[in-house]
Structure 1
């Protein structure tokens, strides 16, 4: 029988694991219908910051730790929101570029007009201390709220759902894993394959669409 630390710690033998009952594995990406449902909810509730955060999370495809640390200067050039931006990823230390589409630019512009600040300020400040950024934990709580509001199960979706969403849509439309690797800032294409959950069925479907 495999030995674990609980064999040597009587207090731990009847302790329920912290993640007991939790869904383990990658979170689902959102589909187009779900994206618009969340946008409708945020607009109806006049949650201007959250709409900007949601749109930027989808377009940037950034990890939560990188998203919350974005500064106004990363996204703004003069009076305009950039159409493309570049940041250095905290996890890998590698630069990654991302696009900011029209919807995200519009919602960001609305939020930054309300938010104020200068180029060195965080785009999404903490409500407790405006000199600090929104925490990844609070970001996760917000995503849970959005997901619950449109009738989805929060255990199946999370901040990584936002990172995966546009990448998954692009992959389904093009089958170009190398492009997804670049967009996600992965150092190895094997990581991208695992991240997208590419399997033999996906590969065969793409092959069947190719006439020679």
Structure 2
């Protein structure tokens, strides 16, 4: 395929959310929702720590991180839908503010790998009847990407 890949449409986003909820995939739902809200690159998304989005036991409505590639700060809003899914994941997961939100299954001290995140994204896209190779990054059509 030559050129830019298609972004997910809103109906696909909701289909993926429904599928993840139906399958009981709490972590994946939180990961998907946080990816949508933040529009971060995978390498920045998987390295988020609990303290990056939680203050005084509450999930923030806005968060700021420094991107690895550009070394620039980026701020993003965390919607209520995402706060609910992340809250459910963190209640299930536990952990301290210094821990990664999405730890590796091999070590609690390491984060989910970017390749594993890419495989998960392909799985979610395929689950709703789309072809992963034809789809691009997570942001919905009409949203600006970074």
Match in the other structure for 1:169: 142
Which runs of 5 or more structure 2 residues have no equivalent in the other structure? none
Q: 1:98 aligns with which of 76, 85, 91?
A: 76
Tell me: CA distance 1:24–1:129, structure 2 relative to 1, closer, same or farther (3 Å).
Answer: farther
Q: Would you tell me which structure has more helix in proportion to its own residues? A: 1
Which is bigger in relative contact order (C-alpha 8 A, separation at least 6)?
2
Larger Rg: 1
What is residue 197 of structure 1 aligned with on the other side? none
Unaligned runs of 5+ in 1: 1-22, 171-179, 185-212
SS at match of 1:87: strand
What TM-score, normalized to structure 1? 0.66
Matched pairs, number:
146
Picking from 6, 12, 37, the partner of 1:34 is 12
* 1:26 to 1:38, Cα distance in 2 relative to 1, 3 A: same
Q: Tell me how large the CA RMSD over aligned residues is.
A: 1.3
Question: Aligned pair 1:50/2:23, yes or no?
Answer: no
Looking at structure 2, the residues matched to 26 and 136 of structure 1 have their Cα atoms a distance apart, in angstroms, of 21
SS of structure 2 residue aligned to 1:69 = coil
List per-residue Cα deviations over 1:147-201 (Å, max 9, x = no partner).
110000010124xx21x32xx434xxxxxxxxx4xx73xxxxxxxxxxxxxxxxx
Kindly indicate which of the two structures has a greater share of residues assigned to strand.
2
